[in-house]
Structure 1
């Protein structure tokens, strides 16, 4: 497979804007390498690629620096969560219970 390339995409989104960058990379390119090659940090300087959470088509990948891509995969760079979803659900349930008891 020496010299062969594959087509992949690198994606990132904020509430205001999303960007999907198609690119051609050598076989054996990792998720992190593809993200670096895409230049996405030029458009979103807040991304810290070395520590960013990443996944492929919605499935989180714990080691993006090691995970090699295959043709047509999309690397998704995830934004940090502002609020823990478990805490939000817990608070919602507590609020619903309080409304039920007072009503």
Structure 2
């Protein structure tokens, strides 16, 4: 079946299309895609994974056309103008 694996680092995006077996899991697709070699910072033990924007587990079975997404943590750096006050 045809699926895709997507990941975006802070500087680069990858969208990899692949054909995998009908009984494949999310983890199978990630491993077969080779994305872990392209982005060694990916840690499947700590990063969230989804299919079309919905969180899922590595053990979830895939369906034809699914897009597996590996999410990275977004870190917000506050500058001097950012504050939690509602004062103007």
Q: Same fold (TM over 0.5)?
A: yes
Alpha-carbon distance in 2 for matches of 1:60, 1:37:
20
**Which consecutive unaligned segments of at least 5 residues does structure 1 have?**
1-5, 84-90
Structure 2 residue runs of 5 or longer lacking an equivalent are: 77-81
Aligned residue among 5, 8, 21 for 1:10: 5
Q: How many residues align?
A: 83
Q: Which residue of 1 aligns with 2:35?
A: 40
Q: With structure 2 as the length reference, what TM-score do the two structures score?
A: 0.83
Question: Relative contact order: is structure 1 or structure 2 higher (C-alpha 8 Å, sep ≥ 6)?
Answer: 2
> Structure 1-normalised TM-score?
0.72
Q: Higher helix fraction: Structure 1 or Structure 2? A: 1
State the 4+ residue runs in structure 1 displaced beyond 6 angstroms.
none
Structure number with greater Rg is 1
